[in-house]
Amino acid sequence: MIKLIKISGFLSVILLCFLSCNTTAQTNKNLSTINSVSVTNTFGRGGTVSITATKDSLISVNNSIATKEIPTKSSKIDIKNWNSIVAGLNLEDIKNTQSGKSRGYYDGPDEIYEIVTNNKTYTLTNVSDPVKSKQLKNLKVILQKMAAQK
């Protein structure tokens, strides 16, 4: 009887350890909730460049006379590339980031980030806070590299 109590106690402790462990799916909620991300640069009268990534595709549109680095095209991406795109995004920081003023009214450049989740769409324009905009700048660099090489 005592042996049975010891065994059941030991199994209870092991079960509790397994239940308290976090899996990668539980800890990285960004990977499952972000549906698409996009970066759009406007150049006033010089046009726009837009790059949009979803879980399975990357679409870049260049309607600009200001730059030709990003071609207009669409391509498929794999889950590894998608994970590298969204891995650096923290939705809590995105929620607390304030947009700046749009300069497009005066033919100025605008940098617009859009992050679409299951619940909400976040649109950030000309983020000026250097700490909070770091993850957005990294997102822009990753998307530009992917759009330029594919």
105 falls within a domain:
yes
Residue 24, pLDDT score: 42
18 falls within a domain:
no
7 falls within a domain:
no
Domain that holds residue 117: 28-149
Name the domain count of the chain: 1
CA distance 16 to 144: 45
Residue 30, pLDDT score: 46
pTM confidence score = 0.75
120 falls within a domain:
yes
- Specify the 3-state DSSP secondary structure of 109: strand
**47 within 8 A of 65, measured Cβ to Cβ:** yes
Residue 50, pLDDT score: 95
Count each helix (H run) and each strand (E run) in the chain, helices first: 6, 6
40 falls within a domain:
yes
Look at residues 143, 127, 117 and name the one whose alpha carbon lies nearest to residue 38.
143
Residue 64, pLDDT score: 85
What's the CATH number where 136 sits?
A: 3.30.1560
3 falls within a domain:
no
Per-residue pLDDT of the chain (150 residues; tens, 9 = 90+): 666 555 555 545 554 555 555 444 434 444 458 999 999 999 878 889 999 999 999 999 999 887 788 899 999 999 999 999 999 899 999 999 988 888 776 667 899 999 999 999 999 999 988 887 899 999 999 999 999 885
47 falls within a domain:
yes
89 falls within a domain:
yes
- What are residue 43's DSSP bridge partners? 109
